[in-house]
Amino acid sequence: LAARDFYGDAGMRRGPGLIPSVPRRVTRRAAATTTIGVPMRKLVEATHVSLGGEIGSPHVWATEYLDKEHFNYANKLLFAADDLLLGRRTYEGLSVAYPAMTGADGVPNEFVDRMNSIPKHIASTTLRETTWNARVIPGDVAEYVAELKQQPGRDILKYGTGPLDATLMKHNLIDEFHL
């Protein structure tokens, strides 16, 4: 799929029962600080979800709602982060799609370029090798993410919904949900 398929100029239909173009932010807790008093990095979960609760295959059902307003919002989230946190299935899908989008239409796309260059941390017990500026999280995922949040830097952005979320929520590691 081309970048324009995700973030094209499709018009936004507004009205009762339709999906809003800009996700709403739900903040779980105030920003924590590290042991030396420095603000801790936030882990931000960004998930496409319909009003009916659909989260699977957003490239099928959400495309018509991904307008310029949404693109600006997604850009803001991505550029506020220094790292991406992904589960295996999300990584496998995005790591194929985004490198193929580079220069697809000859027009530079800052979102695609950022997605391809940002460091990625992958939670998986089966994946052994990665590409796309990614590394598999060694050992305990909750400990790794807690330590990552204490490192200097900007937000950590998480895409996708699956088993990784259960672990992160169990350990109260997600600071914001953007739905």
What percent of the chain is predicted at pLDDT more than 90?
55
CB 124 within 8 A of CB 91: yes
pLDDT digit string (tens) for the chain, length 179 residues = 333 333 333 333 333 343 444 444 554 454 565 555 667 999 999 988 878 888 777 777 778 878 888 889 999 999 999 999 999 999 999 999 999 887 666 556 899 999 999 999 999 999 999 999 999 999 999 999 999 999 999 999 999 888 999 999 999 999 999 98
**Taking Cα atoms as reference points, which of 145, 139, 137 lies closest to residue 170?**
145
- pTM of the predicted model as reported, rounded to 2 decimal places: 0.77
What pLDDT score was predicted for residue 60? 79
Orientation of helix 88-101 relative to helix 110-117, angle to 10°: 130
